[in-house]
Structure 1
């Protein structure tokens, strides 16, 4: 355990180019200690200095207990995370990460259809290995803008004709209408990639059974204006600590409770990482995250307090 509860301090052992503008980072314990287990689809929060925290999917081998691997795309409009990894991070540096957390779990199914775009291959990479170990049928369709920019392409080709790789500069885009137009029985779809691709996956997969199409986003979706129009104050009561505060319009529940003195788990503040998920004891959440499934939202048992608000005047949270 590292600098604070739920974190590890690891050392950067290796950085390696995996594609144009994509570098992989291998992290290990400085003394060679075994690292906590993780499952395909998991991510870690990486603390990159100056208060910058970014979430990266684990894309190594879960059976390897000696190290974690992530891959980072250099973003032209970097907010500091990818630029730091590419320009500053070097072997031998110590870095703080969270324990692995999985909001994109690979559920059991006889068949899987994996759809990845660009750096979105990272959570999918470990999933196809797990599907193979389970003896499930699976296929991967992986697309990107250029052939040189496709990450881990050589590793993927080892799986033979189950893997279909296309690049816009050669073959064009993934045929999402053809892949998703007709629902497949006993099949789960897992997809990660840029927002335009994920929106298309949602649209073309709309007639699949509920819960069959599962997505992970690297950035929060743009929220419609009506999400914030007409907001009202919300009284937030913390059932365990006894803290009570009012979240004013335009101010998150997370910020409100921190100002009231609570120390709360959080990372992205955009509703995509799941670290601030909180149990709801009373009241009806107004969900605005990109983590919970439709069924979980309808149940209303938990919420992401960094972005979500309430449909009732009061919420009682298990804090």
Structure 2
């Protein structure tokens, strides 16, 4: 569960990037240093506008060594549920946002002998922070940045002046096929000291992760972070008992555990509603989960001791949760 403190930050700069991406810099109103973060971390941003009240997660792309501001990149997604559209509209200079975090579920293995970063579109954001950290540490790394076209490639100006610019390989879908990402060519040989990081659209991620797995890279060395996911929350009816709260509810075919419990007064913090942020992870005392999330690792799923109540369901007739 999330126990990081919430704070209010002010937009100090708004930069329109190619590809319908907005770069936003946030700082404390009094200029005080912000809580430190590690490469791969994200912040939760509360978006409030009329009837809209959402929490959304955005990776930090600024240098982890800087404490005067946070920087995020936000894609205005055409299939957005309102979060990205709201942030693009509301994030004007001087606007204030409630922030939760930073938190890191995509941590960098800083002592790896070799690190390869794969960013698809907006998935480049955590890779920028990782590249800055790896460069500062003097580590061996390369960034593969994949976009639809050169004209839709955000952060190009940032990368161009970075001291690690020569570590970035650009791949564009509309150019010569020979320069497109080719896992057979661009994946390094498997090694215990080689770590891969993948972020971007789900299809891109599954492609790269599948190729890396087939090539023999250990699952523990393939790190991933999903920004969003298509989640099917439907299924057969089952019962959930909240042991500490002393209530039992029925979760219907189109319901979620979190919503069913909320109706009887058991509140669990839910933010992404897609099983990607981990905010709602809850311990299981008994029963078999039907995992629908993209947050838990394969090993954690196999253990069957926790689940994301925003989207996951039950294979057994009853789940008993430690809440």
| 2-structure distance, mates of 1:299, 1:318 | 16
Change (3 A) 1:183 1:196: same
**1:168 aligned residue:** 173
Per-residue deviation, 1:184: 4.3
Does the 8 Å contact 1:181/1:205 carry over to 2?
no
Task: Find the residue that maps to 1:189 and give its secondary structure.
Answer: strand
Q: 2:204 matched to 1:202?
A: no
| 1-structure distance, mates of 2:40, 2:264 | 34
**2:89 aligned residue:** 87
**2:321 aligned residue:** 317
Per-residue deviation, 1:185: 4.7
Task: Find the residue that maps to 1:100 and give its secondary structure.
Answer: strand
Does the 8 Å contact 2:231/2:311 carry over to 1?
no
Per-residue deviation, 1:239: 3.2
**2:222 aligned residue:** 213
| 1-structure distance, mates of 2:6, 2:69 | 15
Q: Once the two structures are superposed, what CA deviation does each residue of 1:265-289 show, in whole Å capped at 9, x if it has no partner? A: 1101111111111122333322110
| 2-structure distance, mates of 1:24, 1:143 | 18
Scaled by the length of structure 2, what TM-score is found? 0.87
Out of 247, 250, 255, which is 1:246 matched to?
A: 250
**2:76 aligned residue:** 74
Change (3 A) 1:78 1:145: same
Per-residue deviation, 1:182: 4.9
Per-residue deviation, 1:83: 2.4
Q: Once the two structures are superposed, what CA deviation does each residue of 1:131-152 show, in whole Å capped at 9, x if it has no partner? A: 2334432111111112122222
Task: Find the residue that maps to 2:84 and give its secondary structure.
Answer: helix
| 2-structure distance, mates of 1:54, 1:178 | 36
Q: Once the two structures are superposed, what CA deviation does each residue of 1:71-105 show, in whole Å capped at 9, x if it has no partner? A: 11223344322223333421111112222222212
Note the 1:1-319 alignment, pairs <5 A. Answer: 6-49=5-48, 50-108=52-110, 109-157=112-160, 158=162, 159-172=164-177, 173-180=180-187, 182-207=189-214, 208-221=217-230, 223=232, 228-229=234-235, 231-234=236-239, 236-319=240-323
Does the 8 Å contact 1:142/1:166 carry over to 2?
yes
Change (3 A) 1:78 1:220: closer
CA RMSD of aligned residues (A): 2.3
Structure 1 unaligned regions, length at least 5: none
| 2-structure distance, mates of 1:88, 1:277 | 30
| 2-structure distance, mates of 1:228, 1:264 | 20
| 1-structure distance, mates of 2:169, 2:319 | 48
Does the 8 Å contact 1:181/1:204 carry over to 2?
no
| 2-structure distance, mates of 1:217, 1:84 | 20
